[in-house]
Amino acid sequence: MKILVTGAAGFIGSHAAEKLHQEGLEVIGADNFSGYYDVALKERNAEVLRDKGIPVHKIDLREVQEYEALEPDFDFIIHFAAQPGISASSSFQDYFSNNVLATQNLLEFARKNKDLKHFFNIATSSIYGLEATFPETIAPKPASWYGVTKLTGEQLVLAESRSGKLKASSLRLFSVYGPRERPEKLYTKLIACAFKDEKFPIFKGSEKHLRSFTYVWDIVDGIYKAVERYQDLDGEIINLGAEEEHKTGEGIALVEELLGKKIQLEVVPRRAGDQYRTLANIQKAKKILGYEPKTSFREGLQKQITWYMENFL
């Protein structure tokens, strides 16, 4: 089986590519190596994959001509590539071109793959809105450009399924953390500030936000289970995440405990569109996929700290 993983040099995409390769699939990676954060970090992830025999092509999915580097002979496509997160430095055009236009271009390429069995869209709990505690049947209320454009991309994918053009589904991921987490995200930045003796910028009030923090390999396990059971997923939306929730302040305190070090905090203005609660409702994933996250919050954070120490100290 041959599988295309877009966003393969990114945080979750690189882990997913590794897992699929370990399970015996032929994995081809694609990534545009955007400058949203340090390209050297993405290059490092790509080298890890290449060392394992997984090629990673530099392809901008927004540019139709760049698809010529890919043979249309894939059995599966998993679409991670996106403009991520909520960032004041990202324009609406950044979100639209990466999350909507690129997804539509990829779907047009997907139709050229005559033996394509399934297209997996990787979505986000941000689609639900400021509170994400619901089953997949609830009407979405995204509150950020990121959430709005990810919902639009998801609907483009599911429209292909409804029209019978492709077999497709969407997996909504919840508050993922772990090794290779992007440098601006909570725990990588928090750990970095601890070792550099820098103040950690915390958005006003966010220490009380509740999160369904989910270790990256528990997410990857769910994605692999979806690939295994793809025949049951056409047209489906599936939540993947941990069933426990923790306040952001709890996570900060746990990192301090694991490091044996107090981290200075600097309160910065609130971030518009930031979710105040995520808690993955995974009853559907349990029923269809047999999905069951196993990594405790403490264990996952310790693994992320170890990764940071091995790679950046």
Q: What's the token pair of residue 249? A: 């302040």
Delimit the domains of the chain by residue range.
2-176+214-240, 178-210+244-312
2-6: strand order across its sheet: 56-58, 26-31, 2-6, 76-79, 118-124, 168-173, 237-240
For 2, 29, 83, 126, the CA distances from 94, given in Å and listed in that order, are 30, 22, 7, 17
Compute φ and ψ for 95, nearest 5 degrees: -65, -45
| Active-site residue flag, 215 | no
By residue count, the chain amounts to 313
Is the pLDDT at 276 greater than 90? The verdict is: yes
Tell me what pLDDT residue 227 has.
98
Q: What percentage of the chain has pLDDT greater than the value 70? A: 100
pTM assigned to the model = 0.97
Give me the mean pLDDT over the 21-30 stretch.
98
Q: CA 140 to CA 126: how far, in whole Å? A: 9
Higher-pLDDT residue of 90, 123: 123
Statement: residue 88 has pLDDT above 90? no
Closest CA to 304 of 210, 213, 211: 213
CB-based contacts of 238: which residues, under 8 Å, 6+ apart? Answer: 136, 169, 170, 171, 172, 222, 226, 284, 285, 288, 289
311, pLDDT greater than 80: yes
Across the chain, mean pLDDT equals 97
Q: What is the pLDDT of residue 81?
A: 98
Q: Which of 95, 146, 177, 308 is catalytic?
A: 146
What value does the mean pLDDT take over residues 84-101?
Answer: 92
Percent of the chain with pLDDT over 90: 96
* pLDDT, position 12: 98
pLDDT value, residue 129: 97
Q: What is the mean pLDDT of residues 252-274?
A: 95
Query: Confidence band (pLDDT; 50, 70, 90) for 86?
Result: confident
Same-fold call for 2-176+214-240 versus 178-210+244-312? no
pLDDT interval class at 272 (50, 70, 90): confident
The answer to whether residue 19 scores a pLDDT higher than 80 is yes
pLDDT digits (tens, 9 = 90+) for 195-218: 999 999 999 999 999 999 999 999
- Any residues with CB less than 8 A from the CB of 71 and at least 6 apart, and which? none
Residue in 190, 289, 219, 208 with CA at minimum distance from that of residue 249: 208
For residue 87, what pLDDT is reported?
80
Q: Tokens 């070792």 label which residue?
A: 195
pLDDT mean over 251-278: 95
The domain 178-210+244-312 is placed in CATH, from the list 2.40.50.140, 3.20.20.10, 3.90.25.10, 3.30.70.260, at 3.90.25.10
Class of domain 2-176+214-240: alpha beta
Condensed to tens digits (0 to 9), the pLDDT of residues 223-248 reads 999 999 999 999 999 999 999 999 99
State the pLDDT at residue 89: 79
Average pLDDT over residues 23-37: 96
What's the rounded Cα separation, in Å, for the pair 109 and 157?
A: 12
